[in-house]
Amino acid sequence: MARDTKATAVPVEDTPIKDKKAKEDGGGKKAGGGDKDKKDEVEELVSLKPGILASLINQNLSLLRDVSRESPFIASCSLKKRGFSVNNRILFTRLFCLTQKQNSQSEEDLQLKSELEMLIERLKENNLELHRPALESLRTLIRTSTSSMTSVPKPLKFLRPHYDTVVEIYENWDQSDNKLALADILSVLAMTYDEGKRDSLKYRLQGSREDPGSWGHEYVRHVSTEIGQEFLHRSEQDLPIDDLMTLSLEIVPFFLKHNAEADAVDLLLELEAIDQLPQFVDKDTYARVCLYMVSCVNLLVPPDDIAFLRTAHTIYRQHNKYTEAVSLAIRLQDLDLIREDFEKAGEIDPLLQKQIAFHLARSHILLETEDESIQEILNNSHLSKHFIALAKELDVYEAKTPEDIYKSHLENIRPGYTSGNVDSARQNLASTFVNAFVNAGFGNDKLISVEEGNNWIYKNKDHGMLSAAASLGLIMLWDTDVGLSRIDKYTFSNEEFIKAGTYLAIGLVHAGVRNENDPAFALLSEQVENKSATIRISAIVGLGMAYVGSHDEKIFDLLIQMVNDVELSMEIASLAALSLGMIFVGECHGEITSTILQTMMERKDEALKETWGKFMGLGLALLYLGKQDAAEVTLETLKAIEHPIGKQVAVLVEICSYAGTGNVLKVQKMLHLCNDHLDKEKEDDLHQAFAVIGIALIAMGEDIGAEMAMRSFNHLMHYGEPVIRRAVPLALGLLCASNPLLNVMETLSKYSHDNDTEVAINAIFAMGLIGAGTNNARLAQMLRQLASYYHKEPNCLFMVRIAQGLLHMGKGTISVNPFHSDRQLMSSVAIAGLLATIIAFTDAKTLILNRHHWFLYYLTTAMYPRFLITLDEDLNSLPVTVRVGQAVDVVGQAGRPKTITGFQTHSTPVLLAHSERAEIATEEYIPLSHVLEGFVLLRKNPDFMEEDKD
């Protein structure tokens, strides 16, 4: 008993602070008083002044020493036996930790600390002979120190309190080598002491100018950060920056050598000297550098984005990577640069020139060359032959009927009602389009191209006959020789609408392909002056489709007078302007611009009010597609037009000029336009619909921007005016063309049941657009359900049928997505076709659902097979094994990461979805293209050795 009493009887001076407080409070709380007590103890312990804390530790030192010899658990038990409360045990543990921390410096650390302090003392002395050895010792200690990711190197940590002393020493020394060496050391020390003064850079520039990399990677990164800040400061003050540039050009090679390509590029970007980069890039670093630079382009503002593309192009050219260089030249829309690369590649390797020709043909860029085989590639003459071969390989060549697509037997319709079998003109018209889209490019179908094709045409009425005859052009797509022979017989028809449809068909057949004999021009130019307005319009539209993106001056001479003629109907003048816009897309053609602007100013208000006015504006806008600032003068001129069409066209020109750039400021401007709640009866609000479409058009080139745009559309749908709500589904369709994302499908499915019929119709069309050519089963099911839901609504049902036709476009082999070459290049021709169709849907009741349903054929310019076909050196199909999987973004990743995931191995030819990428699975052949997409030429690998199969 006495022993126990002794154990608990701790002298007052040895009693921990909590026990004292408890006695003062008259007993206090019970031991183990819960979490609140513990929290209070911790706060009290933290709040103690260092002197009190030291006194407390000293008072209980003997006890702490006893406890410290035991493990934490045994120590806790030992304290418990001595009668300590839970709170006091916790407190002692924390005191012990503090004691240990105070004495945690090992002998090596103490020795290092004293050595560093001794060296600082030597630097203070007047004996100059001691300075150099002291500096060398300091330099060695700092350089050889190691640290973890989360801790500062020990020498820097111990020298931090002496930083001001060292600065003072430096200021007092006269200029000498020793002072330069001390500046270097100060520059490193400043990393831990920096207070926004940029001292690391300051002393670096005053130092000995030795290799900055010798002080380690973290030091170089720190200095490069300060260089960026200093450059900004000096630029604002208009001070010289030569010393910063010299230092940066010393740092860049270090970054490139140590797998920090992104840091090197960022540093030169901050200094506005990205054109200096090519001299430092070698064969080991160019690929990673260029990949990073190209991925940054969408996030940069002009002119940095152009500078990045040109610098990356220069680097690729230095390393003879001409397919990559041409891709960037196409993105720059620089025809001289494209021609230069094309010719240079021909000097190095004729087969490489053919591969580049396939790239140019995909982008609808026509160059003249004396080599007939290359000219054929540039004319896209190979497209039809290989597309049909692909269809036979995939066993989809056999023609399909509209009923094969509708699958009416799966539609949930009550007996007595029907949706697919009614032989009405509207149903037949829908079947005409479905038949055309599904069998596009295959050259065969079961309605039009058969012997009894005439019968089907006559099952349609008036403009329906026009679309039915024109559908033959879509079925024979890309096959100009056979197509023209099939179409020719209808040119002799007595029916005006069939004749008109035939001329439109001639234009459709030639969309995206060229023929040396120019049959499209010969046949259509004669009809441009035809007395029949219907035939005249078909010829004008046909010319626009046949020569889309060709920049052909002879078409300009033919059509420009129609735009200028104020006596002509607004319909003819506007469609002529639209055709010119499609032919000269992205060329900033001054004469066409001035003619369209002059016509708008001269036309009467009644004419401009017509729905056709917007197509004249679209023709003007397409001239500036992707040209950004080049449209500024035109935008200023449009302000002079007082009619509401001036505002509409200004929006169209602005959105087209920034198409695919992801420019955040322009997206904000379009959202701002949507913010106004206008009274439709008092002022025109159509420009808001164009602004909504513009958000999608600008954001579609960049993934983050596209995702944010979708969120904005959700808000617009909730709070926008009717004109805005009707445009949102169209914008979603444009944003995800041939890319059926699940969330977008669900959103559009919801909108397709909207109370506003126009919203529902646009949403149904958008569902077809996002699924175009994908055969997406979920979307097909949704559309069948919509067919049941709208079986009594002829307009909605018509649009459901069109969407079903789009979904199964080319039996699942054709895409309308404007992005290609691994989603790096945007096809201006495809954008032109998509925009023409989507703008028509802003007034669907007047155009698509009335007599001008042929606007749907504008999608033809965006249609292209989504295949990968490998060819040998003689341009014959060469099946090889490839891996196809989801594309993975590998920008900035270390090593050689996999570029695809979840892949499957196929034999070419294969189909590629929007987000898929292919890579060759055999070493027997070397692909000449950097992107396995479209036509890829293969060359036998000279180093390949076949494995013994025995």
Write the pLDDT tens digit of every residue in 299-325. 888 788 889 999 999 999 999 899 999
What per-residue confidence (pLDDT) applies to 412?
64
Report the alpha-carbon angle 326-700-629, nearest 5.
70
Please give the pLDDT value at position 441.
87
Q: Which residues pair with residue 870 across a beta bridge?
A: 936
Q: How confident is the model at residue 33 (pLDDT cuts 50, 70, 90)?
A: very low
Decide if pLDDT at 173 tops 50.
yes
Looking at per-residue pLDDT, the higher value among 503 and 39 belongs to 503
Torsion angle (degrees, nearest 10) of CA 758, 651, 830, 787:
-10
- Joined together, the tokens standing for residue 927 give 């692909």
Residue 138 predicted with pLDDT over 90: no
- Please give the pLDDT value at position 54: 53
pLDDT, residue 902, reads: 86
For the cut 50, the answer to whether the pLDDT of residue 31 exceeds it is no
pLDDT at 78 over 90: no
- Give the residue carrying structure tokens 């409070």: 25
d(CA 528, CA 794) in angstroms, rounded, equals 34
* Better-scored residue on pLDDT, 611 or 78: 611
Averaged pLDDT for residues 617-640: 88
* Local confidence band at 65 (pLDDT 50, 70, 90 cut-offs): low
Rounded average pLDDT over 89-108: 61
Instruction: Give pLDDT, residue 148.
Output: 55
pLDDT at residue 76, rounded to an integer: 62
**3-state class of 938 per DSSP?**
strand
For the segment 113-134, what is each residue's pLDDT rounded down to a tens digit?
888 888 888 888 877 788 888 8
CA angle 639, 642, 647 (to 5 degrees): 55
- Of the pLDDT bands very low, low, confident and very high (cuts 50, 70, 90), residue 684 is confident
Strands 881-887 and 916-920 come out as antiparallel
Per-residue tokens: 856: 């749907």
Query: Residues with Cβ < 8 Å from 668, sequence gap 6 or more?
Result: none
Which of 224, 214, 230, 276 has the alpha carbon at shortest distance from 247?
A: 224
Per-residue confidence band for 136, with pLDDT thresholds at 50, 70 and 90: confident
For range 16-45, the mean pLDDT: 44
What is the band of 732 on the pLDDT scale with cuts at 50, 70, 90? Answer: very high
pLDDT at 857 over 50: yes
pLDDT band of residue 416 (cuts 50, 70, 90) is very low
pLDDT of the residue at 764: 94
Q: What pLDDT score does 11 carry?
A: 36
Q: For residue 861, which of 550, 435, 472 has the smallest C-alpha distance?
A: 550
DSSP state of 847: I
Give the pLDDT confidence score for residue 16 in this predicted structure.
Answer: 45
Strand, coil or helix: 684: coil
* Highest-pLDDT range among 180-184, 407-411, 662-666, 730-734: 730-734
Q: Where are the alpha helices (DSSP H) in 700-827?
A: 703-719, 722-735, 742-751, 757-770, 777-789, 794-807
Count CB neighbours of 675 within 10 A.
12
Q: What is the pLDDT of residues 533-592, one digit of tens each?
A: 888 889 999 999 999 988 888 888 888 888 888 888 888 999 999 999 999 998 888 888
Asked if 932 contacts 921 with a C-beta cutoff of 8 angstroms, the reply is no
pLDDT reported for residue 18: 41
On the question of pLDDT at 477 being above 80, the answer is yes
With a cut of 70, say whether residue 49 has pLDDT above it.
no
Q: Indicate the range of 24-38, 257-271, 427-441, 674-688 predicted with least confidence.
A: 24-38
Q: Is the pLDDT confidence value at 831 over 90?
A: yes
The pLDDT value recorded for residue 6 is 35
Say how far residue 160 (Cα) sits from the centre of its chain: 46
Range scoring the smallest mean pLDDT among 197-206, 734-743, 848-857: 197-206
At position 857, the amino acid (one-letter code) is: Y
Q: Which pair of tokens denotes residue 694?
A: 């513009």
pLDDT number for residue 56: 53
Q: Computed over its alpha carbons, how large is the radius of gyration of the chain?
A: 38
Question: How much of the chain is helix, strand and coil, in % rounded to 5?
Answer: 65, 5, 30
Lowest pLDDT segment from 69-73, 258-262, 379-383, 465-469: 69-73
Mean pLDDT within 751-772 = 92
**Residue 218, pLDDT score:** 84
Q: Do the strands 825-826 and 881-887 form a parallel or antiparallel pair, or are they unpaired? A: unpaired
With cut-offs at 50, 70 and 90, classify the pLDDT of residue 656: very high
**Above 70 in pLDDT, residue 944?**
yes
Q: Are 514 and 550 in contact (CB under 8 A)?
A: yes
- Contact partners, residue 502, CB within 8 Å, separation at least 6: 469, 470, 472, 487, 490, 491, 493
Compute the distance between CA of residue 305 and CA of residue 815 in angstroms, rounded to an integer.
28
State residue 38's pLDDT score: 43
Mean pLDDT of 37-44: 46
Whether residue 161 is predicted with pLDDT greater than 90 in this model: the reply is no
Q: Is residue 25 predicted with pLDDT exceeding 50? A: no
In the chain, the percentage of residues whose pLDDT exceeds 70 is 85
Mean pLDDT in residue range 470-497: 85
pLDDT value at residue 779: 93
Which residues are CB-contacts of 567 (< 8 A; sequence separation ≥ 6)?
Answer: none
| Average pLDDT in the chain | 82
pLDDT recorded at residue 10: 39
pLDDT greater than 90 at residue 174: no
Report yes or no: 335 and 909 within 8 Å, Cβ to Cβ: no
* 3-class secondary-structure state, position 895: coil
Q: Structure tokens of 130? A: 């001691």
Stated length of the chain:
950
Kindly list the distances between the CA atom of residue 871 and the CA atoms of 357, 369, 924, 927, in Å, as whole numbers in the listed order.
Answer: 14, 21, 14, 10
